[in-house]
Amino acid sequence: MIDNYTLLATFPYSTEAQVTKSKLEAEGLRVMLLDEKTIDSDPLISQAIGGVKLLVYNDDATEALKIYNRIRVYEKDKNGEDIVCTNCKSTKILIADLTRKNIFYMLFPFFEKTRHRCNVCNTVF
User: Is the pLDDT confidence value at 109 over 80?
Assistant: no
**Cα–Cα distance measured from residue 61 to residue 125, given in angstroms and rounded to the nearest whole number:** 28
Count of the separate structural domains present in the chain: 2
83's CB contacts (< 8 A; 6+ apart) are 74, 75, 76, 77, 91, 93, 116
**pLDDT tier at 108 (50, 70, 90 boundaries)?**
confident
Q: Tell whether 57 and 24 lie within a shared domain.
A: yes
Structural domain boundaries, residue 117: 74-125
- Flag whether pLDDT at 70 surpasses 70: yes
Region of residue 70 (phi > 0: left; psi between -120 and 50: alpha; otherwise: beta): alpha
pLDDT-derived band at 37 (thresholds 50, 70, 90) equals: very high
Biggest CA pair distance of the chain:
46
Is the same domain home to 54 and 78?
no
- How far is it, in rounded angstroms, from Cα 55 to Cα 118? 23
Last residue of a domain, one of 43, 71, 99: 71
CB 77 within 8 A of CB 83: yes
> Distance between CA 2 and CA 57 in Å, rounded?
9
pLDDT score of 1? 62
pLDDT mean over 28-55: 92
Worst-scoring range by mean pLDDT, 73-77, 80-84, 109-113, 117-121?
109-113
- The structure's pTM equals 0.69
Higher pLDDT, 105 or 30: 30
